[in-house]
Structures are given as C-alpha cells and as structure tokens.
Amino acid sequence: MNLHPLLPPRARTFSRRDLLALFASGAGALTAGPSLLSLLAGDASGQGVPGSKRNARRRLVVLWLEGGPSQLETFDPKPGAQNGGPTRALSTSVPGWTFADHLPGLAKRADQLAVIRSMTTREGSHARARELVQSGYVPNPTVSYPSLGSIVAHELGDLAHELPAFVQINGAPLQAGYLGVQCSPFVIDKPEGRIENLAYAGGVDHKRLDHREAMVDVLDDAFAKRGGTPAVDANRTQRERARRLMDSKLLTAFDLSQEKESTRDAYGRNDFGQGVLMARRLLEHGVQAVQVVLNGWDTHDNNFARSAALCDQLDPAFASLIDDLKKRQLLADTLIVCMGEFGRSPEIARDDGRNHWPNNWCVALAGGGIKGGQAWGATDPNGTTIVEKPVQLADLFATLGTALRVDGSKTFHAGLRPIQLIDPNGKVIQELLA
Amino acid sequence: MSWTWGALSCLSAWIGALALAPQDNSSATSTKERPAPSALAELIDQSLQAQWPEQKVRPADPADDSTWLRRLSLDLCGTIPLREEVAAFLDDSRADKRLRKIDEYLADPAWAQNFSYLWSNALLSGAQKGGGPEGTRLRSWIEGQLAQNRPFDDVVHELISAAGRNDENGATSFVLAYADDIESLSSIASRTFLGVQIQCAQCHDHPTDHWKQDDFNGFTSFFLGVRGQKVGEMPPTFRLVDAPPGELKSSQLRKLRDILREAAKNGDAFAVDLSRRYRRRDLGDLTDEELMSFLATLPGKQREKLEKEIERQKKYADPRFLDGSPLNEQADRTRRELLADWMVAPTNPWFAKETVNRLWGHFFGKGLTHPVDDLTGSGDQVLPPLLELLAQKFAQSGFDLRYLMTAMARTRTYALSNSMEEQAERREAQERWFAAHPLRPFTAEQVLHSLQRATALELDTVARAKDNEFEAERRRVLEKFRYVFDDDEGGSEDRFASSIPQALFLMNGKLTNDETRLKNSRMLDDILDESRSDRERLRQIFLATVGRLPSQREAEKLGRLVKGADGGNRRGIEDLFWALLNSTEFLTNH
C-alpha cells in the first residue's frame, strides 16, 4: 500500500514544525478535520463528522465469538430433538422464529436481526478457521489475507485520523497483509486499564517529549540528506500520528468512566460488555471498524452451562449496542456482524460437550444495509444438515461487502499475485440487504 | 530480460579468467573447482558494472567505514556492532581490514544464530503457531549445523529426509512442525529450497506459471508416508517415521485402518461393532473388501470423512519429480530420501540457484530474481546468467555457505551507499541494478538484538546459552516484536510502513525509556565514566547506537539541545540517548 498516494513525486521532507503549523488551526478539535494528505491533494472534503448521513461511509462492528459458538445454544435451537440437549427455545418478536432461551434481549429485537442459519465451511481447526472466516479467504502459507476490519479501515476509514481506523478489543489479531500495516488492528487487551505504551513514559511530560522530538528531527534531517528520505518520510508520518494519538482529546473514546453507570450496567459489567460499549464510543469518535472478542466458546465439555454463561454476556451487550446505536442515529450506517470460526456438533459428545462443526453454523447481522426480521436458510430438525439455502463464506463476504458499500473487485498484490479485496466467487444474497 | 551482449561476453571472459585466478589470503581457500572468493566478488562487480551505462544508472558513492561495518554486522550477525568495535574499526589502518572483518563475523557464533533465524522463519511460516516447540528445536538444530559450516546440501538433505526421535535429531522437527498438513509442508519445502511456488497449483493449474495440479500432487506425494508417533509425554517427544513405499502403493486404505484401529482403542461404538461383525480383534487386518463394505454402512458424516481421506490417499499416491526426472523406488530408501537426493543433486535445476538467490536478497535487498523465492514465476529477473554462474560455483564449492557469503560481502557492490536520487523512478532504477544499496527496515530479531546491545541490556555476545527457558522467553518477546514490527513480507510495496504501535513502543515503551535513564542504564554509566568531555560523551553515545561519529553540524545542534534540556546536562544526555534510539536511522539497515 502506498502511504502517500496523493503526495507529489518530489515531496520535500517536512520537518515536524512544518506539520504542526499545518495542523495549528485544527489541533485538538473534537471532530476529524481534513487530513494532511487531502489538504496537499487539494481535496478538502475529508471525512466529515462521524455518523453524518451526508457521507454515509459505513462502519463495522464485529462481535467475534472465539472458539466456535454452538448454533444449537444460540440462534438455531432444536428443543426436543435427539441432539437438542436441555436448551429451550424462546419465541422472538418475529412470529415463528425462535432463538435459544439464553438470548432474550436479542429475541425481543429479532425484527432488527438477520440470521443466516445455513453458513457452511470446511475448516475445523481453530487457527485456520479463524483466518478463513475473518478474511473470507482460505489460509495460504504465502499470503496474509486481511480481515474484514482491515478492509473497512482501508476502503472507508480515515488513515490520517487521530484515532486508528481499526481497533480490536481482546483476542489475536489478523495482520493486514497487502493492505499495509496501517490497516492492521490497533489491539487493546481489556477495555478497562491502561493501553500499552499510549501514556507518556514516567519522567517525560509534553515539553520534554517535544525536546526529544527536536533531537530526532536533527538526526532525521541529516539521515534524509544522506539518502534516507523514503524511510524518514514514512517514519515521521507514523510518529506524528502516534503523538497526536497520545495527545488527542479523542482518547476519551477509550474512557468508560464518561458513561453513565446505568449504561455500563446495561451492556454488562464484564470485559466483553464493556468492550462493546467502548466500541460504540470508538465509532462515535471516528474509528471506522471495531472488533470485540468474546472468548470461551470452545465447549468440548460442559457445553450447556458454559454456553449459557457466555450468552449471558453476549445478549445484553449485543442488544444494548443495537439500542444505543439506534438512539444515536448511528445504526443505519453501522454494520454489526456476530459470528465465530465454526459451530458445534449436533451429536453430544462425552462430558456434555459439543465438538467442532463447520458443516452448518450461524451468523447474526444487524444495522447498516441489513434487512432485519428474517432467518435465512434452515437446517433439518436434528440440526445435522442444511435443508434450505446453504451459504458459502464467499457469499457471506460478497453480501457484507455490498452492505458496507465496498468495491470488492479492487485488486491488490501479494508479491506478484493479484488478489481481489473480496473473493469474487461469492454471490450477493440480495434478500438480506435493505 | 535486459542484459546486453556486452555483458554476456564480459561474463564469458570472466568464466575463462576464473580458472586462472590467483590465490588470495582468505580462510576460504580456492580449489580447482572454485575461484577464490575475491575473484568471485570481482566477477559479480564486473557483471553488474557492465550494465550500468546501458541502463542509464550511475553508481552511488562507496559507503564509508561506519556505514559498511554496521551493514555487515546486521546482515551477518543480526545486530548492530558494539561501540568499541566501531571505534577500533575506524581506527584500524590496515588495507585489508574489511576482509578480516568479514572472516571474523563468519566465524562468530552470532552468525550461525542469525542465519538459523533466516531459514527457520522461512521454513516455519506455514506451520500452525510457528511450529510450537518443534520450531524452537528446528532453529536450534539449524544453528548447530551452520556453526560447523556443514555443506548446505547435506543440511537440506537431512531436513527433508530425517527420521527418528526429535529429541535425538532436531532435523526431524521441520516435518514434525507440520504434523498432518503435508500440503503446507510440500509448499514450504518447494518454495524455501527450490524457489518453486507450487502452492498456487494446489487447487487449480497455476494461472501464470507453468505448474499444474499434477505437479503439486506429485511433489506432495513424497510426504504422504510421514508419521509422527508420540513416544514421550514430558516433554512431548515424537518419532518421525515413514510408511514403506510398498505399503503405500498397495493399500490406499491404510489410513482408514489406522483410524479404525484408533477408534477400537478408544472403545468407539462403531469400531467395537465392526470387530464383532468381522470377528477381528485388530481392525488393521480387515481386507479391502471388508473395509469397503463397512464404509457403505457408515452414517453420512463419518463416511464422508473417511471417503475424503481415501481421496486424499489417491491424490498423493504417485510421487513425481518436478523436472520430470525418473523416479526409481528402492526398497531400502524412503520416498523422502529419494526426494532429498533429487533436491540437492547437482543436476537439480533450482536448489543451488534458490540458495544463492535467497542469500543475494539477504545481502543486497532483493534477489537477482524477484521475489526471492520464486525462480520460475514471471517476476523481475536481473542478469540471469550471473545467477546461473553463481549457482554453479556454489555447487562446485560443495555448497559452502561461508564461501558464498565471503564472496558477496567482499564485492564493491555491497559497499555502495544509498541512493541519493530524489525522483522515485530514478532511485528504483538505480536500486534495481544494484548501483545503490537499498534502505531496509530491521527484522524483528534485529530490533530485539540491537536495542539490547545499544542499551547494554546484555553485555555478552548476541549468541547466548540456549537453555529452554531462555528460548521460550526469547520467542515470547520476538512474537511481540514481530507483531509490533511486522513488515508484512506478504507483499506491501511500501517497505517502510511503520505503524502507530511501533512508534508508541519506541516513544513510550519501557525499553527505550527505562533503559535510557541514567540511574538504570549501564551503557550511559560506562560512557559517562569513560568520557572526559561533552564532545566525547556525544561521540560515544553515537557509536553505541547508530554506529558512527556525529557530523560537525549534528554535534553542534545536538550539543546545544543537550545543554538546553530542562534539568540540565544529565537529562539532556538521556534525551539524546532516547532520540538516537527513536531516530529513523537506528532501525534502518542502510
């Protein structure tokens, strides 16, 4: 990825003072102003206020259920069937449609959800399946395929914004590969507590850091004169952004104490719930994509109790997110995708467990571009086969790409190999789109 | 292809001249088959130089001693040089000091460790979790081989064909790191050692190269027989064995029997039922017909799984060499041994070339053929006859890595400065023809080692004792660095896309802050102890970090900034130390 697509070929090396001068008028502003790049290119339209319908650049929230959530304990229950286990079904707000009874909040909001019950893939190992489902491409030892979040950051995000375009809360990140390292997720481990390396180091305040940077400038200017210009330019850009992030008033996005206690309670006082709340804040502060990971779904034993406990975290967080975004008029432009790397086996194994099951599993969608109130595809009464409308991963990604208004045919190169942003072999499921 | 007849005749002249090349005093002696390293270096220089007028590129100036030394230290030992070393080298007035330095580094344990990372990173790039504990064992084994300068064909032969316990022969760890994933194993082996990217042909014929699915299947077939048998729990120990080719050929249902045997052991219902039905205790004894009839009775999912396994066995039933050479199966050689024989034979079209190309890329920034591990693709090929010739000489040397690296490091080409061209296209042209040395970001290992060295976190040499705990800690730290400093060799055009987490780590992280504080820093302590003047302090801090002396201008400007620090000179020194570690120059291999 070319960092400076809009810079003229003979860009001189900016010193830090030059850059600061250019930002002087907009420094510290709460809204994201036009980026330096766009100023240089003579394009002042920039990103605009987050959430503005004028721009309608869609945002993305991925609720990633790490370990492979059981579809029978979430969105495709089979009470009474041989494989159903003790899980009961709950009527949703859409007649005839049921969820597992551990998802009451989502059941009430089913009119805003579209659930694919017939997702089918062939990867049964965690690491490979995670890469597969997050990126839409079969993992390949020679290529790093970027995740959907990185795609959104690259295509829709503002890479010059003070906050990173793609943030991940918890979990192992996928690299952005050919989209460039700026689109890799900025990972924070827990929504509460310090973000690594974001704070000024002990004994270093604003003034001292300025003083230090002045020394770096001397060294970088000298290095540029000896042939180091490309490296200096790239490095300076990132250092500037890092500094702006450290000093950014938008860092309040990461500060949950700004929220009412009742709001924090509604999302759930656990890492996942608070992480989803943080996701909402991040979107409001101009972050384009957020992925929040809920771990623990790999229930090879004690599946029922464990799934129930996890749903107790998933349900209020997901439901609150929908409500909250709607209230702030952000839902229409925010796509929410809730899924894991595969489902779980209908056959109940020993120790009350369910094993890995990519054959049929569920994806829940809400928000921007999605037509709610429908279940897409169906499985047989025992939950072992798909009887209606199987959905391949490429179809899912084609559909999500359309919902996000991303041009999936854009081509990048891993080495010499051309790769489209989104696998072209999928078919968009129009009925899922609003 | 853009080399001229002039270049070709130049090369021919050199090929002739090589036979008469004079001896030189290097430790890598010349033999009848191989020219002295300096002669080979001269050949490289002349071949490239002959191209430059035609290509309208002018060479950059020769690099100064400090630039050259730092570059060599990073490329050979994976770390910046020690400041004492830099000072001594700058003071050294011997005409052959650079030749001596090359020899010195090649004999350093850090060299073996550095290149063990080069190959193990490449070999493990397709394995889950970087190969886990097998990865550590593999890297360690490779390091041992390199330390003895074992001929590289022997090393690779063993990596491909080794059998036995992984705690007795670390070479088995390469295959074991891939467990059952022979498709990834074959892709990585082909790519790393032959520069042939067959993985694209796994699911369909390669779109741009000439490899077909049959080629992929034929190559992967050599690995079909591998079995990792667990022989110990604490720590997990495996024995790598091969199913004999006879057995593979005659029974495609062997794996099915294995599955059934396992199932019977676990007491799985259907296996118990089966053994009762056929009155066999060992389900491995079932005949093919019995197995097929049993398959028909299985419920859908299980039958599908087993049928898939049978398909897989069929797909990889027939091993074939990629160049169409005949395969003669022998009872006393496993398929992997036959593959290894073919791979490292002098007649193999790719092995020597790929090794040379990969090392060329390591020293010069990109291979003569680009990408570095894609010899048969449609990528840029600069001066193919040179690559051919170097491959020949490498093979004739007995695949002697030290010899090859000595030659490359001795070239004038390696000693050029960076491009001073302002226009991107002119810069690219200059770098493409190796008329200027490229800028490269550090690898994760180089970051770790260089930061440690600059801050004197580890005073002993880079090659430390390799006990398991240290290895584990090192891996953990490297994983973190790899994420923070990942330069996604997956294909970003912009090699300098550093990231915010990287910048934050350098600006605010413990390593660059705590370790630069006067009360903590051993490096600063030593420097302040030794130095009599501000000027001397400045020089020493520069030597410790960027491996050179400050320019007049830098000394003036930075001297003023140090004095002008809030809290005085001592705080200013900390700031300077920090600034050098945060400078672009520090983490650039230039």
Mutation site, A145, A194, A219, interface B, largest B CB count within 10 A: A219
Q: Which residues of B touch A239 (CB under 8 A)?
A: 503, 507, 582
User: Does A177 contact B371 at a Cβ distance shorter than 8 Å?
Assistant: no
Same-domain check for residues A166 and A231: no
Mutation site, A7, A200, A417, interface B, largest B CB count within 10 A: A417
Peptide bond preceding B235 in cis form (omega within 30 of 0): yes
| Residue B1 touches partner A, C-beta closer than 8 Å | no
User: Does A128 contact B128 at a Cβ distance shorter than 8 Å?
Assistant: yes
Average pLDDT of the residues in A225-236: 90
Q: What pLDDT score was predicted for residue A9?
A: 31
User: pLDDT, tens digit, for every residue of A354-407?
Assistant: 999 999 999 999 999 999 999 999 999 999 999 999 999 999 999 999 999 999
Q: Which tokens is A433 given?
A: 């789109």
Q: Which amino acid is at A249?
A: K
Q: Which residues of A touch B188 (CB under 8 A)?
A: 141
Nearest CA in chain A to B580: A216
Same-domain check for residues A136 and A150: yes
| Residue B378 touches partner A, C-beta closer than 8 Å | yes
pLDDT at B67 over 50: yes
CB-CB: which of A177, A213, A241 is closest to B500?
Answer: A241
Q: Which residues of A touch B301 (CB under 8 A)?
A: 359, 384
Same-domain check for residues A369 and A311: yes
Residue B497's pLDDT band (cuts 50, 70, 90): low
Same-domain check for residues A212 and A201: yes
| Residue B95 touches partner A, C-beta closer than 8 Å | no
Residue A128's pLDDT band (cuts 50, 70, 90): confident
d(CA B150, CA A234): 41
Same-domain check for residues A293 and A170: yes
Residue B514's pLDDT band (cuts 50, 70, 90): confident
Nearest CA in chain B to A187: B501
| Beta strand ranges found along A37-155 (DSSP E) | 59-66, 89-91, 98-100, 113-119
pLDDT at A27 over 70: no
Q: Which residues of B touch A176 (CB under 8 A)?
A: 488
Size of interface A-B (CB pairs under 8 A): 217
Q: Which residues of B touch A150 (CB under 8 A)?
A: none
Residues of B numbered 553-582 whose beta carbons fall under 8 angstroms of chain A's beta carbons: which are they?
553-554, 557-558, 561, 564-566, 571, 575-576, 578-580, 582
Long-range contacts of B28-33 (CB under 8 A, 24+ apart): B28/B400, B28/B402, B28/B403, B28/B406, B31/B397, B33/B396, B33/B397
Q: What pLDDT score was predicted for residue B208?
A: 64
**A141 vs A288, higher pLDDT:** A288
Max avg pLDDT among A265-274, A348-357, B33-42: A265-274
User: Does A231 contact B590 at a Cβ distance shorter than 8 Å?
Assistant: yes
Mutation site, A238, A245, A354, A359, interface B, largest B CB count within 10 A: A238
User: pLDDT, tens digit, for every residue of B174-226?
Assistant: 999 997 788 889 999 999 999 998 887 876 666 666 888 899 999 999 998 88
Query: Which segment of A226-230, A260-264, B65-69 scores lowest on mean pLDDT?
Result: A226-230
Residues of B numbered 245-304 whose beta carbons fall under 8 angstroms of chain A's beta carbons: which are they?
300-301
User: Does A186 contact B377 at a Cβ distance shorter than 8 Å?
Assistant: no
Q: What pLDDT score was predicted for residue A18?
A: 39
**A28 vs B283, higher pLDDT:** B283
Beta bridge partners of A434: none
How far is CA A27 from its chain centroid? 28
Task: Give the global pTM.
Answer: 0.78
Q: What pLDDT score was predicted for residue B4?
A: 44
Domain map of chain B by residue range? 1-55+350-437, 63-107+439-590
| Residue B423 touches partner A, C-beta closer than 8 Å | yes
Max avg pLDDT among A329-333, B15-19, B300-304, B520-524: A329-333
Max avg pLDDT among A26-35, A277-286, B364-373: A277-286
Average pLDDT of the residues in A49-68: 77
Query: Which segment of A200-204, B519-523, B552-556, B580-584 scores lowest on mean pLDDT?
Result: B519-523
What's the gap in Å between the CA of A285 and the closest CA on chain B?
18
Tell me which DSSP letter residue B191 carries: I
Peptide bond preceding B371 in cis form (omega within 30 of 0): yes
**B288 vs B311, higher pLDDT:** B311
Q: Which residues of A touch B441 (CB under 8 A)?
A: 231
Q: Which tokens is B425 given?
A: 């296209």
Tally Cβ neighbours within 10 Å of residue A197: 22
What's the sign of the alpha-carbon dihedral B171, B174, B177, B183? negative
Phi, psi of A306 (to 5 degrees): -65, -40
Same-domain check for residues A220 and A318: no
Q: What pLDDT score was predicted for residue A22?
A: 35
What's the gap in Å between the CA of A260 and the closest CA on chain B?
30
Q: Percent of chain B scored above 70 by pLDDT?
A: 78
pLDDT at A44 over 60: no
Domain boundary among A215, A247, A279: A247
Cα B173-B469-B485 angle, rounded to 5 deg: 80
| Residue B129 touches partner A, C-beta closer than 8 Å | yes
User: Does B436 contact A207 at a Cβ distance shorter than 8 Å?
Assistant: no
Task: Classify residue A5: in a domain, yes or no.
Answer: no
CB-CB: which of A231, A236, A413 is closest to B491?
Answer: A413
Chain mean pLDDT for chain A: 86
Q: Which tokens is B33 given?
A: 């088959």
The helix (H) or strand (E) run that includes residue B273 is helix B269-277
What's the gap in Å between the CA of B33 and the closest CA on chain A?
36
| Residue B529 touches partner A, C-beta closer than 8 Å | no
Average pLDDT of the residues in B94-115: 96
Q: What pLDDT score was predicted for residue A184?
A: 87
Same-domain check for residues A189 and A293: yes
Residue B317's pLDDT band (cuts 50, 70, 90): confident
CB-CB: which of A3, A141, A228 is closest to B199?
Answer: A141
Q: Which residues of B touch A211 (CB under 8 A)?
A: 561, 564-566, 575
Nearest CA in chain A to B510: A201
Q: Which amino acid is at B314?
A: K
| Residue B439 touches partner A, C-beta closer than 8 Å | yes
Mutation site, B437, B557, B583, B590, interface A, largest A CB count within 10 A: B583
Residue B463's pLDDT band (cuts 50, 70, 90): very low
Q: Which residues of B touch A219 (CB under 8 A)?
A: 546, 554, 558, 579-580, 583-585
Q: What pLDDT score was predicted for residue B443?
A: 82
User: Does A181 contact B188 at a Cβ distance shorter than 8 Å?
Assistant: no
Average pLDDT of the residues in B104-124: 94
d(CA B521, CA A97): 66
Question: What total of structural domains would you count in chain A?
Answer: 2
**R_g over Cα of chain A:** 23
In order of A154, A222, A252, B394, B564, the CA distances from A278 in angstroms are 21, 42, 10, 58, 42
Average pLDDT of the residues in A12-37: 35
Q: What pLDDT score was predicted for residue B250?
A: 45
pLDDT at B19 over 60: no
Same-domain check for residues A266 and A222: no
Q: What pLDDT score was predicted for residue B510?
A: 83
Range of the domain at A205: 197-247
What's the gap in Å between the CA of A29 and the closest CA on chain B?
20
Average pLDDT of the residues in A28-57: 38
Q: Is A47 exposed, middle or buried (0-12, 13-18, 19+ CB in 10 A)?
A: buried
Same-domain check for residues A164 and A223: no
Query: Which segment of A5-19, A339-353, B276-290 scores lowest on mean pLDDT?
Result: A5-19
Same-domain check for residues A188 and A201: no
User: pLDDT, tens digit, for every residue of B404-420?
Assistant: 999 999 999 999 999 99
User: pLDDT, tens digit, for every residue of B545-555?
Assistant: 999 999 999 99
Q: Which residues of A touch B128 (CB under 8 A)?
A: 125, 127-128
Residue B251's pLDDT band (cuts 50, 70, 90): very low
Same-domain check for residues A225 and A111: no
Q: What pLDDT score was predicted for residue B246?
A: 54
Q: What pLDDT score was predicted for residue B551?
A: 97
Q: At which residue do the structure tokens 């027939």 appear?
A: B318
Same-domain check for residues A207 and A260: no
Helices B534-545 and B552-563: crossing angle, nearest 10°? 110
Q: Which amino acid is at A56?
A: A
| Residue B374 touches partner A, C-beta closer than 8 Å | yes
**A33 vs A251, higher pLDDT:** A251
| Beta strand ranges found along A238-342 (DSSP E) | 289-295, 334-340
What's the sign of the alpha-carbon dihedral B509, B510, B515, B520? positive
What's the gap in Å between the CA of A7 and the closest CA on chain B?
12
CB-CB: which of B187, B422, B490 is closest to A178?
Answer: B490
Q: What pLDDT score was predicted for residue A175?
A: 84
Q: What pLDDT score was predicted for residue B485?
A: 62
Residue B272's pLDDT band (cuts 50, 70, 90): confident
d(CA A380, CA A374): 18
Residue A12's pLDDT band (cuts 50, 70, 90): very low
Q: Which tokens is A222 given?
A: 């000298």
User: Does A231 contact B439 at a Cβ distance shorter than 8 Å?
Assistant: yes
Q: Which amino acid is at A189?
A: D
Query: Which segment of A177-181, B216-220, B242-246, B582-586 scores lowest on mean pLDDT?
Result: B242-246
Q: Which tokens is B539 given?
A: 């020089």
CB-CB: which of A3, A142, A144 is closest to B488?
Answer: A144
CB-CB: which of A182, A201, A209 is closest to B497?
Answer: A182
User: Does B517 contact A10 at a Cβ distance shorter than 8 Å?
Assistant: no
Q: What pLDDT score was predicted for residue A31?
A: 31
Task: Classify residue A323: in a domain, yes or no.
Answer: yes
pLDDT at B351 over 90: yes
